[in-house]
Amino acid sequence: MTTKKNHLKVPSTRRKSIEITGNSAKKVILGRGRQSDGLAKDLQALGFSDYEARAYIALLEFSPATAYEISKVAGLPRANTYGALESCTQKGAVQPLSQNPIRYVPVEPQELLSRIASDTSTRCSQLASRLTKLRTDDCRQLVWIIQGEKKVNAKIAEMINESRVHVWIKAHENVIETHKVALQEASDRGVRILIILFGLDSSLFQFNDNVRIYLHEGNGVRVGNADNLLTIATDFKTALTANMLGEVNAAFTRNEQIVTMAETLIRHDMYMAEIFNRFGPLIDDAFGPYLLSLRRKYFSQNQLSELNQTLDQNLACLKSASV
């Protein structure tokens, strides 16, 4: 009496047809093209080896199956397939179903990937804490250079959005306009906003009682080149200064001393604005309009050149606005 044994027929084409006869007769058409290759690469990115990934994908297409059957389906060396299925079992991706011979079934992809995501998230959180303890430097002492208008504005927006106590900012109204929505949202959640404004209309950013606006030196007129710069400090913790004209670039830091310096700069501009509001005519008599005698005394040659180039233009704008 002749016993008909199970046999596995695998054509050599990339798209394989698996035919098993005998007690488990079935025919399965398996796609082994680019889609399977892409899936295997994605699984490898999650920690699977190439053989493990291909064995798992084959089981999704054809199971339950023995190691021998999977080696044929996946096109793997038979000896390596046993090891791949064993390691897949340890990973929780595959489960043995029976003995003599052992047949395997895959764990459902959603269940498998949800567990991997949860385990990875937990591991990353724990690892971040452990690695942080190894650092010998303090990143709060660093100054980060940011280049490009898009990146600089993104960092400014991040500082405003993360603020919880205050935002102090000194800049031209055109620069602040970019962040008007973020500033309004911050003021609405109770953050105190202080603006030293280069411009003529302080009402543009007067969202509510949490906002205080001072025109620079009491008039907001551009005299030197300071309105090309933006300085912002938040919550006594962060500071950024940026050149917003031409090639936009910025320096950001959490360094306590530099943050204090930036806040002191803005605070003294606030003092100056208050003083000008109160004693403007007396100051003009002593130092000339717009502190010109002082500026000409202490400006560098380049600053004096820019002063002479911009003063007439901006004074003309001021006169025009007052008419």
- Which regions of the chain does DSSP assign to beta strands (E)? 8-9, 16-20, 26-30, 94-98, 103-106, 143-147, 166-172, 192-198, 211-215, 229-234, 238-243, 249-253
Classify 8-106 by CATH class.
mainly alpha
Kindly report whether the peptide bond that precedes residue 101 is cis, defined as omega within 30 degrees of 0.
yes
Give the pLDDT of the chain (323 residues) as one tens digit per residue. Answer: 444 444 444 333 333 444 443 334 343 444 445 567 788 888 888 889 999 999 999 989 888 899 998 888 888 898 899 989 999 999 899 999 877 888 999 999 999 999 999 999 999 989 988 887 776 666 677 889 999 999 999 999 999 999 999 999 999 999 999 999 999 999 999 999 999 999 888 888 999 999 999 998 888 877 766 657 899 999 999 999 999 888 999 999 999 999 999 999 999 999 998 999 899 899 989 988 878 888 888 888 877 777 777 776 655 554 554 54
Element (H, E) at 267: helix 256-287
Please give the pLDDT value at position 131. Answer: 84
The CA R_g of the chain, rounded to the nearest whole Å, is: 35
Overall residue count recorded for the chain in this entry: 323
Q: Which residues of the chain form CATH 1.10.10.10? A: 8-106
Please give the pLDDT value at position 304. Answer: 79
Query: pTM for this structure?
Result: 0.55
Give the side-chain half-sphere CA count within 13 A for 112: 21
d(CA 55, CA 71): 8
Please give the pLDDT value at position 40. Answer: 87
Q: Which residues of the chain form CATH 3.30.870.10? A: 139-282
Please give the pLDDT value at position 224. Answer: 61
Candidate CATH numbers 3.40.50.2300, 3.40.50.1860, 3.30.870.10, 3.30.479.30; the one for domain 139-282:
3.30.870.10
d(CA 145, CA 156): 13
- Which regions of 23-162 does DSSP assign to beta strands (E)? 26-30, 94-98, 103-106, 143-147
What is the sign of the dihedral through the CA atoms of 278, 281, 286 and 290? positive
